[in-house]
Structures are given as structure tokens and as C-alpha cells.
Amino acid sequence: MNIHEYQAKQLMEKFGVATPPGRVASTPDEAEEAARALGATTLVVKSQIHAGGRGKGTFKNGFMGGVHLAKTPGQVRELAEKMLGQTLVTAQTGEEGRLVNKVLVAEAKDIERELYFAIVMDRATHGPVIIASTRGGVNIEEVAEHNPELMIRLSVDPLLGLQGYEARNIASQLNLGGKYIAPASKLFLALYKLFIECDCSLLEINPLVVTTDGKVYALDAKFNFDDNALYRHPDIVAFRDVAEEDPREVEASKFNLNYIGLDGNIACLVNGAGLAMSTMDIIQYYGGKPANFLDVGGGASEQQVTEAFKILIADPKVEAILVNIFGGIMKCDIIAQGIINAVKVTNLPVPLVVRLEGTNVAAGKKLLQESNLPLEAADDITDAAKKVVAAARKHSEAA
């Protein structure tokens, strides 16, 4: 789950992380009021969307940039009027862009240096890893590729946590010695505590700044959270903004379906993440393009299968559907009954290819055969991929 920058600031303030004061606004009036309350001589107005590259983005109304400086509350209001209710297009949003419903009004700081600091969960070391760099405020992937010597990496023992001497060592490597070492190491320790206690999978501060008055601040933050641990954090769940998510993914989450929308034309309904990825690969191999990743899991009910079909056909790009099930815990007859119900309920408008194997496969195939539904059976995954690609092509040509 992702959250907005203003929500990240709230979390950081809760854990004692130094960050410039700011307020969120949903209307130009609220933005002007926030500016007056902050009372700073220079303010920054930042569009709140779940995407990076806001500063270099363009609004569809022609206004350039989703991040601007302002000197007066009146200027803040003018900027908010140009941003709120408008669609911002950045390098990460795609051409469709994202609608800006809120802006963050924050105190601007005179920046002397911009740094980078992040904590991620690393599968290779089975624990948290801190990544830092003296080059902040830029695309960190480019720094890692072209200037790897500027990257600092520290694997943290998950049993001991980040130690004070380790935090001070990171500060030293970032050239934050002398008067900076105490506030910097305090900030790093607070961020690590936040990362662990909130079950984050990513915590990224870009930039981490040193100001001309000798302070160290987390200026901009991006957090991702482990969805499997959200039951422990109702306060974080309350941050969820479904308006920023794919509506199909939102609908799928209501029925505990793992769905990720893609831009292809062949929809997939599969059980198991590994089989789902293999199915997508083989569709691509035989000339098709997957429209989604959809894992119904090991214990899907007939209702979940029906709802999955509704989500798949709601995508106007879909020209064929492939159901690929290997029954272990999942029983093929349950899937088959779910398919039958789904086809009847949705009046399926596109070709359907079904491959079943595993537990109760004979019963599942019998149900499908006796249903007299317009579907095509496949013997194995290769046969299924070839048939669904051909079916999608034929459907497209006939349309």
C-alpha cells in the first residue's frame, strides 16, 4: 500500500523525524489558510498524487509543474487554484495522468546540500538494508548505474536493529560530521524505528537535506507497506486513497483476489503467483499480450471466480480469457462450477480457453462439458497459450 507525502509527514512527525512543518489542503481557501497558519516567508505548494516526477510534470490545463514556491498566502491560493481538480501528467503516471485532489503547503527551506536515504527489505540478506548517497534529489537508479562509488549500503541485523554507532557511521560517510552528526544519526534511528514498527517494505527520503542554518531534514518521503501486515495498523489502512488506485484492483481486493492490471488484450485467471507469471510469459512467447496478473489463490470460492470474471471483462481491451488452473488445495470442480456461473452471469462477450489439471480434474472437465458453454478446452499450458492467442486474434479481426 502507498500513501501520500502529507501522510508520510504525519507518520514521520509521530516518530520524531525532523521534517519541515506543513498542512494539507483540499480547496484554495484551505491552502491560503494553511499558508497563513504556517507564517513562513517562503512556502512550497506540492500536488499530492501517488507518483514521482511531480516537479517536472504538466497539468492537462497547460499549467507547468506540480511543485511551486510561493512568497505570500495569496500566491499559495493562486497555485492551489491551478492544481486542485486538475490532472497532472508525469513520467510515472502515463499519458492518462492523475487527478490532484489535495495539495501540501509546507515551509520551504534554504537548502545547502541534498542527500539520499532509504531503507528496504532485502531478500538476499533476509533483513533491512539501508541505502544512502551524497547525491540526492535526483533519480537514484541513475546514480547507482553511473556512479556506484557514491552509494552507501548497510545491512542491518534484524535482531539488534540499527545501532547508534552505525547511524553515526552513515552520517560520517554522507559528510555529515561535526555539528551535523548528532541530528543526522538521531534522524536515521527514528526512521529505522518507523520502518520496523510500521511494517514498511520501503522507506525513501529523497531528498534528505542540510539547510543553510545547519539543520538536517527529511524533505520528501515515499513509503510502501507490507500488505500482509496491515491488519496490525488500522491507522495506516485509514490512509488508503482508493482514488489513486486502479479501480479493478480496488474491486479485486474486496474479494481477496490478487489482481494487477496490464495493457494487453488476453485476460488471465490463474491459481498461484508462479503459475500466473509463467502463464503471462508463455502468452507473450506465442505472440499475445497479457491484460492482467490475477491469482485467485489456493482456496477460491465459486463467488470469487465469478467476481474475477466480472473484473476481467470490465477491461475494454480484453479480447480473450485464459483460465489456467493446477489444482492442489484448489479443486478443479469448484473452479469449473465458478466458471459456469460466471459465464452465465456475465454473458461472456469474448472467447474463453480453459486448462484444468490436478485435484478433481475429471469432475471439473465433466462439469464444463455438460454445461454446453462456448469455451475451448486445452490439454496443457502450451496448448492453452496457442489457443487463446489465436482466439484473441480472431475476435479482434471480427470486431
CA dist., res. 265 & res. 283, Å (int): 10
Q: Is 134 exposed, middle or buried (0-12, 13-18, 19+ CB in 10 A)?
A: middle
Location of C-alpha cell 496443457: 380
CA dist., res. 368 & res. 346, Å (int): 16
In the residue annotation, 116 being an active-site residue is answered as yes
Angle at 184 between CA 180 and CA 189, to 5 degrees: 155
**Looking at the DSSP assignment, which residues form a beta bridge with residue 151?**
133
352, 374 Cβ separation under 8 angstroms: yes
Q: Which of 6, 116, 180, 217 is catalytic?
A: 116
Q: Is 372 exposed, middle or buried (0-12, 13-18, 19+ CB in 10 A)?
A: exposed
Helix and strand counts by DSSP (H, E) for the chain: 13, 19
CA dist., res. 177 & res. 19, Å (int): 20
CA dist., res. 359 & res. 273, Å (int): 18
DSSP string computed for 91-108? TTT-TT-EE---EEEEE-
| Residue 165: CB atoms within 10 Å | 9
Q: Which of 30, 107, 166, 204 is catalytic?
A: 204
In the residue annotation, 204 being an active-site residue is answered as yes
Q: Would you name the residues annotated as active-site residues? A: 116, 204
